[in-house]
Amino acid sequence: DTAVSQTPKYLVTQMGNDKSIKCEQNLGHDTMYWYKQDSKKFLKIMFSYNNKELIINETVPNRFSPKSPDKAHLNLHINSLELGDSAVYFCASSQDWTSARAGELFFGEGSRLTVL
Amino acid sequence: GDSVTQMEGPVTLSEEAFLTINCTYTATGYPSLFWYVQYPGEGLQLLLKATKADDKGSNKGFEATYRKETTSFHLEKGSVQVSDSAVYFCALMSGGYNKLIFGAGTRLAVHP
């Protein structure tokens, strides 16, 4: 039973399209994250939600919109895709962000987005 | 702002060699420090952590000691295996916002 699962694993699409990536965790964690990993493996946080509330919103274009319907799910919708959006997007979760274990993240396997 | 600097890779070693991957950080306050590992085609996994100065984190033969005086958290392993081939990320948890800030990652390749 996968702890943090993302779908789809691969996504190939044309510039200008809109796409979504879904994430679910069954660990009972309160906090969920989206990270972007570029082609050089550099990881940058995009968003963080704690119990459905947005707590971190880095300088990400407005075309990216996260949604957390409940604390076990965090989805990422991307409008008007651009070439530079090509990357691997990782979902992660942790116990409450204020806890001593806040830095112990559990990652999904990633969703590789390719924009043509 | 807070940041993490890792040695550039790739690091290429023979099996049973000694491994060191350097990591230094810049942070206000007293961050917690982490090493994560990413095997090919997978997400990151927590390898070890240390939450205060002089703490040593260890797991699967890997160790790292939190050195406040040199702002470092170098990863070491006495004898690497081919199965250790992966990308290793040093990270700190920024005390103000409780978000993980990652270094650029260091690729390790171990040959038989």
Are A42 and B41 within 8 A, CB to CB? no
A/B interface, count of CB pairs below 8 Å: 54
Residues 6+ apart with CB under 8 A from A52: A68, A69, A70, A71
Q: Residue A102: what pLDDT?
A: 79
Task: Determine the pLDDT at residue A97.
Answer: 73
B42 in contact with A at a CB cutoff of 8 Å? yes
Strand B106-111 relative to strand B11-14, pairing: parallel
Q: What is the mean pLDDT of residues A79-102?
A: 89
| B34 and A CB contact within 8 Å | yes
Q: Residues near A15 by Cβ (< 8 Å), separated by ≥ 6?
A: A81, A82, A83, A115, A116
Shortest distance, CA B102 to any CA of chain A (angstroms): 6
Q: Are strands A111-115 and A10-13 parallel, antiparallel or unpaired?
A: parallel
pLDDT digits 0-9 by tens, B16-69? 999 999 999 999 888 999 999 999 989 999 999 999 999 999 999 999 999 999
A93 three-class SS: strand
Determine the distance from the C-alpha atom of residue B82 to the mean position of all C-alpha atoms in its chain, rounded to a whole number.
Answer: 18
Within an 8 Å CB–CB cutoff, is residue A32 touching chain B?
no
Taking CA atoms, B90 is separated from A8, B6, B40, B107, in Å, by 28, 7, 17, 12
> How much is the pLDDT for A1?
66
Interface test with B, best of A104, A111, A112 (most B CBs within 10 A): A104
Residue A70's beta-bridge partner residues?
A73
* Position A29, amino acid: H
User: For B65-104, what is each residue's pLDDT tens digit?
Assistant: 999 999 999 999 999 999 999 999 999 997 666 688 999 9
Mean pLDDT of A63-76: 95
Peptide bond connecting B10 to the previous residue in cis, omega within 30 degrees of 0: yes
Tokens of A108: 């999904």
Query: pLDDT tens across A3-17, in order?
Result: 999 999 999 999 999
Nearest-angstrom CA–CA distance, B31 and B33: 6
pLDDT tens per residue across span A38-56: 998 899 999 999 988 898 8
Report the DSSP beta bridge partners of residue B50: B33
On average, the pLDDT of chain A sits at 92
